[in-house]
Amino acid sequence: MSDVAIGALGLIILLCSILLNVPIAASMAIIGAVFILILNPQAAVFSLFGTSTVNALQSQELIVIPLFILLGGFSIIAGLSSEIYRLSQAWFGNLRGGLALTTVGTSAVFGAICGSSVATTATMVQVALPEMRKLGYSDAIIAGTIAGGGTLAH
């Protein structure tokens, strides 16, 4: 059996396991480990799981994300986000979607400061989501605005 046929078989088994309501992450991990062992029996599959996990968690880019989320939480508790959005509503309230525009602009500025799309998006979810819901924006517009603004960090 060729490598392509084994890969196709693995994909079919993966789709079947997803249709059986097995979580996607578990399906991919189990099927990937089994098929790596089939293709390369000498592979140390289980040590690969440990080393790749540790390498991902030791990334210096990811270490700032919890700190920016904490900073967003502090700004919410202190009421800073409410005041910023009240000010932006006063400036851009006459425009249609003014608060959404302000959220994208704030995301761009915050992204330029921190340089991480994930940290920007996580912080803006904590800061912008409650204020936009309070002013009656739909969840679809909120999600699109925050996700779009978060990509401006890089």
Tell me, what DSSP letter sits at residue 1? Answer: -
- Total count of domains within the chain: 2
Neighbour tally for 103: CB within 10 Å = 26
Structural domain of 39: 3-57
Q: Are residues 8 and 39 in the same domain?
A: yes
Q: Decide: pTM greater than 0.85.
A: no
Rg, C-alpha atoms of the chain: 22
Q: Are residues 90 and 136 in the same domain?
A: yes
Q: Are residues 104 and 39 in the same domain?
A: no
Provide the residue-wise pLDDT of the chain in tens; the chain has 154 residues.
777 888 888 899 999 998 999 998 889 888 888 887 777 777 666 666 667 777 777 777 777 778 877 877 787 788 776 677 677 777 777 788 888 888 888 888 777 777 778 878 888 888 888 888 988 889 999 999 999 988 887 6
Residue with tokens 């500025």: 109
Amino acid sitting at position 33: A
Q: Are residues 9 and 77 in the same domain?
A: no
pLDDT given at position 67: 80
Q: How far apart are CA 100 and CA 102, in angstroms?
A: 5
